[in-house]
């Protein structure tokens, strides 16, 4: 749809000029001769933008601006002012106007300012829709689980989300720690404020301080401009410190100061910046043990661990697997445009027997793979990854159990089957990380990767953790 613009000015020549020019630019334009008429038009038709003169009889531009901001807050407002009276235009911007145009007009300036304003309005609408979707995605109804452990987590989230208390979420990789963090944020009073994530294990130590706290231009070789840190970006909202146990001790000191004094200092700066940020941290490491070892500061640990939420491993809440599996089935049917209607009872039984070293994330990967490959209406055992399908209690063949009859045996086939099952067991024992599995079998990572591809073992772990 064409962006809709309402022009409000008591001078007919101004109205006609803007109307003709903006229609040529592809906008749908309506004109009103005063503020009262503009209110009447706004009550009957939706607009993306209002461009109004400041000085008008009966209803002034400032009065119209207040009315629009109160009644139609998503509409972008631009003020028209005469040359030399920009003080009033600045006042209008303080009240919420996006920008102002100065008479006499410069066509290129009008064209650019209006295009920027419409773009800003579109971004505002997109952000509002995105926030609505995020709130829907991370509400309690969308968090899947009916076990006692999950009900305890739901109860904690409800209570914690209403107060800006620091929270530490612990649990194995893949148990949904970030989902819990977002549920806390989007179900509380900060839901319309920023939610900013820092992956503490993914940023090199030499860049971490700049990422967290920002830097001044020239503070180091590649600092070509001032840059705000993620603390500033999250100001007023939530900062999620994922894998906080990976933070270097040198950064832990600076993080502690930010939490204690609610101020940060950019790299290369001399002045402090006040920030008001709620901290939610997550880790799959034992921070208490790290405190005893001296690799994590005790005072920082107590600052972060005001309230602890532990996300249980999926093997400890297997009753939730059917609900989770059907949830992911619906999700990937929609995402992949498939119509797989059900999970067979045999498959569900296999899914509930498996231990999931990768937890909920691994179950989601399994369901995504089966939906992508399934051509029928029901997921059957042969659609499951071999890793899940063969790990449940199968015994490896031994040479004593293999009889060599008159027709002989297929040695390569038998050796291949034993090799395949040993690889499956090693990957299972290593939590799905192929690099660790290779060490268990005393082979190279390259050799392990070749065998995984050779036997088509599918998604079995988090490849991002594997390094050659």
> Which domains, and CATH codes, for the chain?
4-133 (3.40.50.2300), 153-312 (3.40.50.300), 315-384 (1.10.8.60), 399-465 (1.10.10.60)
162-171, 201-210, 266-275: least confident range: 201-210
Region 446-451: mean pLDDT is 86
Tell me what percent of the residues of the chain surpass a pLDDT of 90: 38
Predicted pLDDT at 184: 92
Q: Which residues touch 247 (CB under 8 Å, ≥6 apart)?
A: 200, 208, 241, 255, 296
pLDDT of 425 > 90? The answer is: no
Tell me the pTM.
0.60
Contact 313, 176 (CB under 8 A): no
Which has more pLDDT, 114 or 132? Answer: 114
Region 357-384: mean pLDDT is 88
Cα gap 98→76, rounded to integer Å: 6
Token pair recorded at residue 356: 């999931």
Cα gap 82→100, rounded to integer Å: 10
């Amino acid at each position: 749809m064409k962006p809709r613009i309402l022009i409000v000015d008591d001078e007919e020549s101004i109205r006609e000029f803007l109307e003709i020019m903006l229609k040529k630019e592809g906008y749908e334009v309506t004109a009103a001769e005063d503020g009262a008429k503009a209110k009447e038009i706004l009550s009957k038709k939706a607009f993306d933008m209002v461009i109004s003169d400041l000085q008008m009889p009966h209803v002034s531009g400032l009065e119209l601006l207040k009315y629009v901001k109160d009644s139609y807050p998503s509409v972008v407002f631009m003020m028209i002012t005469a040359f030399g009276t920009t003080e009033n235009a600045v006042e209008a911007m303080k009240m919420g106007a996006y920008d102002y145009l100065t008479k006499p007009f410069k066509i290129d300036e009008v064209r650019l300012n209006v295009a920027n304003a419409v773009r800003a309005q579109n971004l505002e609408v997109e952000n509002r829709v995105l926030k609505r979707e995020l709130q829907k995605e991370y509400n309690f109804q969308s968090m899947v689980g009916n076990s006692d452990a999950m009900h305890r987590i739901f109860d904690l989230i409800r209570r914690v989300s209403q107060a800006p208390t620091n929270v530490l979420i612990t649990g194995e990789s893949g148990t949904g720690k970030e989902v819990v963090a977002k549920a806390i944020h989007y179900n509380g009073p900060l839901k319309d404020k920023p939610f900013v994530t820092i992956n503490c294990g993914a940023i090199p130590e030499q860049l971490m301080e700049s990422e967290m706290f920002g830097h001044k231009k020239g503070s180091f070789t590649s600092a070509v401009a001032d840059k705000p840190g993620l603390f500033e970006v999250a100001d007023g909202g939530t900062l999620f410190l994922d894998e906080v146990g990976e933070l270097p001790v040198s950064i832990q000191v600076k993080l502690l100061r930010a939490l204690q004094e609610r101020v940060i200092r950019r790299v290369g700066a001399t002045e402090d910046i006040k920030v008001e940020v709620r901290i939610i941290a997550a880790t799959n490491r034992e921070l208490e043990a790290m405190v005893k070892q001296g690799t994590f500061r005790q005072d920082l640990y107590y600052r972060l661990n005001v309230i602890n939420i532990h996300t249980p491993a999926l093997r400890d809440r297997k009753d939730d697997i059917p609900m989770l599996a059907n949830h992911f089935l619906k999700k990937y049917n929609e995402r992949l445009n498939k119509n797989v209607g059900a999970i067979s009872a045999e498959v569900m039984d296999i899914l509930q027997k498996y231990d999931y070293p990768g937890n909920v994330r691994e179950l989601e990967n399994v369901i995504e793979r089966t939906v992508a490959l399934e051509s029928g209406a029901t997921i059957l055992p042969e659609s499951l990854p071999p890793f899940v399908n063969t790990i449940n209690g199968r015994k490896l063949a031994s040479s004593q159990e293999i009889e060599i009859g008159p027709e002989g045996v297929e040695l390569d086939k038998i050796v291949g089957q034993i090799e395949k099952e040993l690889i499956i067991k090693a990957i299972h024992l290593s939590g799905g990380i192929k690099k660790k599995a290779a060490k268990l079998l005393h082979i190279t990572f390259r050799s392990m990767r070749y065998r995984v591809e050779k036997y088509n073992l599918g998604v079995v772990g988090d490849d991002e953790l594997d390094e050659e």
